[in-house]
Structure 1
Amino acid sequence: MKKSADRAGTGGRRAAFPLLTALAMAAAWGRPLHAGDRPQMGARFHRNMVSAETGLPERFDPVAGEGVLWQADLGSETHSTPVIASGRVFIGTNNGRPRDPRREGDRGVLMCFNETDGAFRWQLVVPKITTSRFWDWPRAGICSPATVEGDRVYIVSNRGEVMCLDIDGLADGNDGPYRDEARHATPAGEPVLPLSPQDADILWLFDMIGELGVRQHDSAHCSILLDGPFLYVNTSNGVDDTHKRIDAPDAPSLIVLEKTTGRLVARDVERIGPRIFHSTWSSPMLAEVDGQRRIYFAGGDGVLYGFKALREPPPPGTVPPLERVWRFDPDPTAPKENVHQYNSNRRISPTNIKSIPVFHDGRIYLTGGGDLWWGKNESWLWCIDPRGTGDVTGTALLWKRRLGNHTMATPAVADGMVFAADCDGVLHCFDAVSGEPLWTFKANGAFWASPFIADGRVYAATRRGYVYVFALAREQRLLHSVKLDSPVSATPVAANGRLYLASMRRLYALGAR
């Protein structure tokens, strides 16, 4: 294939003319110039849940059809946030409502739709891990968001496989080098079905369970961080079925793959495994600090690590360790040894971090605390100084603020405010510099999805299916609220002048016609 080379080959003068034309047309017509695609979860590198999009709807009612440009059926459960790139929308879901009647039963699914009209293009269908339900939770589907660059789609499947997919699926043929898609889509012991143009085209696959001995728990979850030729991936290593043992204590928590081949080029050697309380579900973030590009990653042990970003691939056949240059423990008095004895202890337990660290104005914002299912009833928002080297636990905390009993949502920061949501159903607004509490709002339902800031508004959605729209302001101003057809785990997203909301069962594209 030459699609990537063709798309990247335009010269500076050729690329500048359409941009200048678009600027002139936008000025002449008085219309907003949209910020563009949203090819990964969160803003590029820094992971902030913000967008520069304008012209987004303030009021809408997807169930009634108000403000809906198109809607598409998903499975019966959707825990993945949509990404929008190259004229397509990608979202992970399950197979609760099969698009392909030949492939019935519980599966992980990644669906691809047209950005313009929501027409279905193709899907990746992945059989479940059958070892036990705690490897690949029933009906959870593919929980990881995709990351897109050019004509390549990167995803972590429900089976812990890092995949590179052709953005066009099999509609333009099987491009290889991987050519066993038919067998891959078929559960063990069942007859292999022929592929169709609406199936995914897998270019390469890296099996983290088979290659690294990872023991994922409940499901794999990672928003892959793409930096130049490299993919930074959380392995989702976690506890066994008893929730009191780590089967893979020496397996890495963070790995780096070469994006063109899937070759393993680096891994952490922090031996986080024995201290993982439940599982590892956070995703890496990149920031430049003290003149050094660093990867910040929240391990399953509740510690935030800073690694040097790779500059070039290592020699073939070598897998060097990631160089840790920084370490911050946001909950230093929590148990650190024999951590699984605190399972189900709602007063004392290790901290678990499910959100993504966010870098903004030289600071890191992070949420975490006791595990929702097995840990203590405490959670916090931390503001952290990312500078320095070594163990900075005693010096890097700028401030922390108590949230509800538990939190899983990534914070969003803009205009001197930071927004954090918790599983008690409270949206918090703090001053981003001082941490001063500004306001709170008690929603109908728990927040699993992250708050999202765009066009002077804050969008937030709950597990009871309610969506709230607030003014981006230091005083609480609720502008709109509406109930969707089903619960929401996915974070709202904006791209190219549209707002995207995904409930458990439907994907909505909202905007002005």
Structure 2
Amino acid sequence: MFKENPSLTAGLNDGYLPDSLRSVITEKQIDFSGRLRVETIEEGQRWNLRLKSRNETVYYDLQLQDNQLYFSSIESNEPEAEGSLLFKAAATLDAGLNEGQVSEVLQAFSTARGFACNDNATVTVEDPDQSWNITAGVEGEARQLRLRRTGPTLTAWQVVTPQDKQEADTVWTYDMMSQLRVSQHNMCSCSVTALGDILFVNTSNGVDESHKNIPSVTAPSFMAMNKHTGEVLWTDSSPGPNILHGQWSSPTVGIINGEPQVIFAGGDGWVYSFRADEGVDGKPELLWKFDANPKTSEWKLRGNGTRNNIIATPVICQDLLYVAVGQDPEHGEGNGHLWCIDPSKRGDVSSELAVKVNDRETSIPHRRIQAVIEEEGEIAIDNPNSAVVWHYDTFDQNGDGEIEFHEEIHRSCGTVTIKDDILYIADFSGIFHCLNALTGHVHWTYDMFSQAWGSSLVVDGKVFIGDEEGDIAVFPLTADRQKALIQVEEDEWQPALGEIKMENSVYSTPIVANGVLFIANRTHLFAISYPGEDQVTLQNQP
């Protein structure tokens, strides 16, 4: 909270007033505004202070006697000028602590720094002249201040608690690797999601360097914590032995039909929904689960297969859930799927069920590499309990009976963006898709000819999306292809509102805050604003 020379006279001989003394003067309600000059009368013992403002000049006399400071007003800066005592105070911040007392000067100084140390404070002496703990009632809460003296320095730390909403100090930490035996692949990459006092976290548990073994099969993939204390409320290991690679998606929370749901994208390619509460006996209530891949899809190393995990964050809009599949960008491009599902359903709500040809009533337990192996007498059948509202993988936009590259969705790292029932999503192959959010009908697609890692931004009737070439494509918010795109040559189209050249790869999602557009490329962060109709300001920071 502070680190100061405890002497209230420190600096006076050099002509400046220490903060500790200024706090006491302010606490005494003495107006000390103006230009200050400190003159030493007797070094280490007596000083004259001249305070000059626009209207007047006032003088003060400060004397040190028997570890007490005497502060008086005087008529002039002459050494023998007459004056009147305004106050006396202890000469050091730590005065009285050894006797269990908090001095008036320490009270004033700590109060000025946010710790209102009152007369009811109690002092515990840990080491005389060196270390003390102060307990005081601050805003109805018992708070602690720890003080340590090292040479000429007194350092104070306020013990931070959950009541310190504005403090940047660490309130608690939790080591998932040591306490839950989680083994993250590459990194832990999850934005923590909160609902009330509960935090929801994807632990990123994954495979090892071989990309074949899962070191901690039973370690949790999902967890809920008390945001004030860091207490783990519940954990879940549903993906378990079926984790394909890593788990880097962030959870989402929504209230569906009055019931709070927290939705996780698992590393096995499934989406899991749990009741968003504190759970029972350390376990959550599973509401539904959804396999986001066709049952016959197959996981292969280095992205050579057709089964995917999920990088994007699931999105809830108008009580519907949207999620796309993808893989680590290092695995390259591949086929993708975009799903819209009804989260009000319960149980296994996948589009298909894996069964034996000769036993269609019993579902085959899910397998990591491939859920259905047709050569072994297994098939995928429609799930009568499916929650699928619509599914997008391909759409023949021109009706020529062939699926071209821009007429299919590929693996995606990005999260959907929805506005006015128009859905946008960029895939990793650089195709930007515009669909009807309620029906899944494809309005139009645009080939950026460069890979896209991030998500789009919709603001002020415009749509922004960045790519690896360093371009930000800008479209009007519209489902009409003729308004969204401009034809420049035969079979060549451009965004109707042009492109912003960022001069380096844009992997992130643009955002807007307080009327400023922020875009980060590979090396710089740009803040773009419009102070006037004809003026644009562009600031960048490496």
TM range (shorter): 0.5 to 0.7
Q: Name 2:525's counterpart in structure 1.
A: 507
Give the superposition deviation at 1:174: 5.6
Q: 1:470 aligns with which of 460, 472, 475?
A: 475
Q: Deviations over 1:321-363 (max 9, x none)?
A: 1111111112141458xx5xx21362x3432100001111121
Distance 1:320 1:458, change over 3 A: same
Counterpart residue type for residue 289 of structure 1: I
1:256 aligns with 2:224: yes
Trace 1:76-225 onto structure 2 (pairs within 5 A).
Answer: 175-176=158-159, 201-225=169-193
Q: 2:289 aligns with which of 324, 327, 333?
A: 327
Distance 1:239 1:508, change over 3 A: same
Q: Name 2:270's counterpart in structure 1.
A: 303
Distance 1:485 1:219, change over 3 A: farther
Tell whether the 8 Å contact from 2:471 to 2:503 is kept in structure 1 after alignment: no
Q: Name 1:388's counterpart in structure 2.
A: 345
Q: 1:421 aligns with which of 394, 404, 426?
A: 426
C-alpha distance in structure 2 between counterparts of 1:448 and 1:288, whole Å: 29
Give SS of 2:498's match: strand
Q: Name 2:260's counterpart in structure 1.
A: 293
Report how many aligned residue pairs link the two structures.
312
Counterpart residue type for residue 469 of structure 2: R
Q: Name 1:397's counterpart in structure 2.
A: 388
C-alpha distance in structure 2 between counterparts of 1:324 and 1:174, whole Å: 44
Counterpart residue type for residue 528 of structure 2: L
Counterpart residue type for residue 484 of structure 1: M
Q: Name 1:367's counterpart in structure 2.
A: 324
Distance 1:378 1:176, change over 3 A: farther
Tell whether the 8 Å contact from 1:349 to 1:376 is kept in structure 2 after alignment: no
Give the superposition deviation at 1:177: 5.1
C-alpha distance in structure 2 between counterparts of 1:215 and 1:419, whole Å: 34
Tell whether the 8 Å contact from 1:404 to 1:423 is kept in structure 2 after alignment: no
Q: Name 1:29's counterpart in structure 2.
A: none
Distance 1:448 1:375, change over 3 A: closer
Distance 1:357 1:175, change over 3 A: farther
Counterpart residue type for residue 285 of structure 1: T
Counterpart residue type for residue 287 of structure 2: V
Counterpart residue type for residue 325 of structure 1: L
Give the superposition deviation at 1:369: 4.1
1:480 aligns with 2:498: yes
Structure number with greater CO (CA < 8 Å, separation at least 6) is 1
Counterpart residue type for residue 327 of structure 1: K
Give SS of 2:207's match: coil
Counterpart residue type for residue 309 of structure 2: N
* Identity of matched residues, %: 34
Give the superposition deviation at 1:465: 1.4
C-alpha distance in structure 2 between counterparts of 1:335 and 1:374, whole Å: 16
Tell whether the 8 Å contact from 2:270 to 2:290 is kept in structure 1 after alignment: yes
Q: 1:352 aligns with which of 296, 299, 309?
A: 309
Q: Which has the higher strand share?
A: 2
Report the RMSD for the aligned CA atoms in angstroms. 2.5
Q: Deviations over 1:392-411 (max 9, x none)?
A: 11311111112443211001
C-alpha distance in structure 1 between counterparts of 2:173 and 2:160, whole Å: 10
Trace 1:272-283 onto structure 2 (pairs within 5 A).
Answer: 272-283=239-250
Counterpart residue type for residue 203 of structure 2: T
Give the superposition deviation at 1:200: 6.8
Give SS of 2:307's match: coil
Q: Deviations over 1:153-200 (max 9, x none)?
A: xxxxxxxxxxxxxxxxxxx9865559xxxxxxxxxxxxxxxxxxxx97
Q: Deviations over 1:13-36 (max 9, x none)?
A: xxxxxxxxxxxxxxxxxxxxxxxx
Q: Deviations over 1:101-137 (max 9, x none)?
A: xxxxxxxxxxxxxxxxxxxxxxxxxxxxxxxxxxxxx
Unaligned runs of 5+ in 1: 2-171, 179-198
Counterpart residue type for residue 326 of structure 1: W
Tell whether the 8 Å contact from 1:491 to 1:501 is kept in structure 2 after alignment: yes
Tell whether the 8 Å contact from 1:371 to 1:406 is kept in structure 2 after alignment: no
Give SS of 2:325's match: strand
Counterpart residue type for residue 510 of structure 2: P
C-alpha distance in structure 1 between counterparts of 2:434 and 2:251, whole Å: 24
Q: 2:516 aligns with which of 493, 498, 508?
A: 498
C-alpha distance in structure 2 between counterparts of 1:290 and 1:334, whole Å: 33
1:442 aligns with 2:447: yes
Counterpart residue type for residue 522 of structure 2: M
Give SS of 2:274's match: strand
Counterpart residue type for residue 472 of structure 1: L
C-alpha distance in structure 2 between counterparts of 1:451 and 1:254, whole Å: 27
Tell whether the 8 Å contact from 1:176 to 1:203 is kept in structure 2 after alignment: no
C-alpha distance in structure 2 between counterparts of 1:280 and 1:262, whole Å: 21
Give the superposition deviation at 1:386: 1.0
Q: Name 1:461's counterpart in structure 2.
A: 466
Give the superposition deviation at 1:383: 1.0
C-alpha distance in structure 2 between counterparts of 1:465 and 1:357, whole Å: 26
C-alpha distance in structure 2 between counterparts of 1:376 and 1:500, whole Å: 28
C-alpha distance in structure 2 between counterparts of 1:321 and 1:174, whole Å: 38
C-alpha distance in structure 1 between counterparts of 2:530 and 2:295, whole Å: 51
Q: Name the TM-score, length of structure 2 as normaliser.
A: 0.54
Counterpart residue type for residue 396 of structure 1: A
1:247 aligns with 2:215: yes
Give SS of 1:210's match: helix
C-alpha distance in structure 1 between counterparts of 2:498 and 2:332, whole Å: 34
Give the superposition deviation at 1:370: 5.3
Tell whether the 8 Å contact from 1:325 to 1:390 is kept in structure 2 after alignment: yes
Distance 1:309 1:512, change over 3 A: same
Give SS of 1:203's match: coil
Counterpart residue type for residue 487 of structure 1: S
Q: Name 1:13's counterpart in structure 2.
A: none
Q: Deviations over 1:432-490 (max 9, x none)?
A: 12111111111142110101111111110112211111101012242131221421221
Q: Name 1:49's counterpart in structure 2.
A: none
C-alpha distance in structure 2 between counterparts of 1:343 and 1:465, whole Å: 29
C-alpha distance in structure 2 between counterparts of 1:217 and 1:502, whole Å: 26
Give SS of 2:284's match: coil
Give SS of 1:202's match: coil
Q: Name 2:414's counterpart in structure 1.
A: 409
C-alpha distance in structure 1 between counterparts of 2:174 and 2:456, whole Å: 32
Give SS of 1:205's match: coil
Q: Deviations over 1:212-262 (max 9, x none)?
A: 111111121111101111111110111100111111111111111111121
C-alpha distance in structure 1 between counterparts of 2:348 and 2:334, whole Å: 27
